[in-house]
Amino acid sequence: MSADNDPQTALSAQGVVPATSHSRVVRADNGSEISLSELMETRGIPLLWSIDDRNRLVHRKATGHVEKKSREMLRLELASGRRLELASDQQLLKLEGWAPVAELVKGSRIGVLRRLGTPVDPQPMDDSEVILLAHMIGDGSCVRRQPIRYASVDEANLAAVTAAAAHFGVTPIRDDYPAARVTTLRLPAPYRLARGKRNPIAEWLDRLGQFGLRSYDKYIPDAVFALPSEQVSLFLRHLWATDGSVRWDTKTAQGRVYYASTSRQLIDGVVNLLLRVGVQARVTRTRKAGYRDCWFLSIDRAANQVKFLNEVGVHGARGVAAKEVVAQLAGRARRPGTDTIPVEVWDHVKTLMAERNWSDKDFALATNTRLDGPRMWTHCPGRTRLHRLSNVLASPLLHDLATNDIYWDKVVSIARIGRCDALSWMFGGDHPVVVGGVPVRDPGNQTAQAPAAAAARALQSSA
């Protein structure tokens, strides 16, 4: 194997991405999320997600890695619930350009992915397998030396599992427990078990790495990430029918859409699946003495909720509640919420105004914006509003900021870890790599990328 094709060859520090060995990246070839240490052991040259010079999602080949090196590391937590451990001189994307992690402060806005693309080589499954897997991860039990069970109070869910089990030749046995107000389906083998012969559902779950897992150990198997987008939606539709919730909150007049689990790994997997359908999520943790931590994945913002409920939907009784939420949101004014562009973008807008000799009043008239004095420039604009401004001002930069694949998250905490070993992985060129859903860049990349570069030049010249 030539040096160009050998992923174990140490290459020059071009496109290097340092992070701790358990930092995770999403492969663009098969959709799976793996740690950098696992990536080192991958045969061949994998495809990873990156962004181009307009901050749009692209995939690029990782050409190799360099050896471990001791570096000063920092731990970041973002408002979305993302957690990162990166080198202090690693650079993250801000509106003004790339900034070292060490220079970030609480409240800094940094760019993260707002979507993930379909894998280059999608691998479909039978729809019955997709449906059964979603329900077994959510409300199934398949621990060793016990019958395989599924429990639900929703007859539509029970019917879905019954139909899906037939794909394996299994006829569920129904056990009703009125006192518990839940119905259990036992999923026995369709033949007599003997040495070397297993229940076909147990064998299938074992191949997927799901057999024997307790609820707090569950995760999304790689096979799901490799699915084409329509089957990702099918999986999410049935998963949400288990431990998901959809309801209209009459007190606050807004939708509540969330999924709960005691497994953080499962929640992180669902976050990535939602990005496959262009939906952003926020992760929070609740603690109660004597119980395991519970993780809540929330889909906030009306537009985000409508996209999920219309394009993915929810199976069964929760699907009825989903229709109510969509109906309630129909026709209501939808605020951008957290999906905004950092306030510094107004510096560029003011430069464009100066070029046209526009006053604040001229700007308000031209853009159909309420004239609100100095306060007009203190609010972060949403993407829809910025897209409208880009058309009025004929600005390619504003257009890109309004339509690219970046969501501007917020740093809520940053702490020093100290010195520890960091791995460096690189692309074949000067490009960022996406780590934990966040585009990151090595400080040695002097020519790398710049959506930011164009934005930085424009914004800095506006200051």
Task: Give the pLDDT confidence of 51-79 residue by residue, as tens digits.
Answer: 998 999 999 887 655 557 788 999 999 99
pLDDT at 244 over 60: yes
The answer to whether residue 409 scores a pLDDT higher than 60 is: yes
pLDDT at residue 13 is higher than 50: no
**Looking at residue 442, what is its pLDDT?**
74
Q: What is the pLDDT of residue 8?
A: 34
CA pair distance 205, 143, nearest whole angstrom: 11
Distances (CA, A) of 389 to 204, 344, 351, 364, 432: 53, 15, 13, 11, 29
What's the pLDDT score for residue 371?
Answer: 79
Q: Is 156 helix (H, G, I), strand (E, B) or coil?
A: helix
Whether the predicted pLDDT of 441 surpasses 70: yes
Looking at residue 16, its pLDDT comes to: 43
What is the end-to-end Cα distance of the chain in Å, rounded?
A: 52
The mean per-residue pLDDT over the stretch 242-264 comes to 96
* Mean pLDDT, range 322-334, rounded to an integer: 90
- Measured between alpha carbons, how far is 285 from 295 in angstroms, rounded to an integer? 5
Give residue 142's pLDDT. Answer: 92
How much is the pLDDT for 145? 82
Burial class (CB in 10 A: 0-12, 13-18, 19+), 185: buried
Mean pLDDT value of segment 176-198: 87
Going by pLDDT thresholds of 50, 70 and 90, the confidence category of residue 182 is very high
Per the model's pLDDT, the better-predicted residue between 176 and 157 turns out to be: 157
Residue type, 292: R
Q: Which of 77-91, 292-306, 429-443 has the lowest mean pLDDT?
A: 429-443
For residue 1, is pLDDT > 50?
no
pLDDT reported for residue 192: 85
Place of tokens 């004929």: 394
Distance CA 189, CA 241 (A): 25
Q: How confident is the model at residue 248 (pLDDT cuts 50, 70, 90)?
A: very high
- Of the listed ranges 4-8, 156-160, 451-455, the least confidently predicted one is 4-8
* pLDDT tens digits along 86-138: 989 889 999 999 999 999 999 999 999 999 999 999 999 999 999 999 999 99
Identify the CA nearest to 381 among candidates 362, 361, 366, 367: 367
The pLDDT of residue 93: 96
pLDDT score of 15:
39
Tell me the pLDDT band of 450, cut-offs 50, 70 and 90.
very low
Res 24: pLDDT: 83
pLDDT at 9 over 50: no
pLDDT band at residue 144, thresholds of 50, 70 and 90?
confident
Is the distance from CB of 183 to CB of 175 less than 8 angstroms?
yes
pTM score, two decimals?
0.89
Average pLDDT over all residues of the chain:
88
pLDDT confidence tier of residue 18, bands split at 50, 70 and 90: low
Find out whether 85 and 20 touch, Cβ atoms under 8 Å. Answer: yes
pLDDT of residue 283: 97
pLDDT in tens, 32-47: 988 877 777 777 778 8
Q: What is the reported pLDDT for 406?
A: 98
Nearest to 457 by CA among 89, 95, 90: 95
Sheet arrangement for strand 438-441: 97-100, 91-94, 438-441, 433-435
Would you give the DSSP letter of residue 377?
Answer: G
For residues 402 and 404, give the distance between their C-alpha atoms in angstroms, rounded to a whole number. Answer: 6
Mean pLDDT of 134-153: 94
Which three-class secondary structure state does DSSP give residue 84? strand
Looking at residue 183, what is its pLDDT? 95
| pLDDT given at position 44 | 74
| Percent of the chain clearing pLDDT 70 (strictly above) | 88
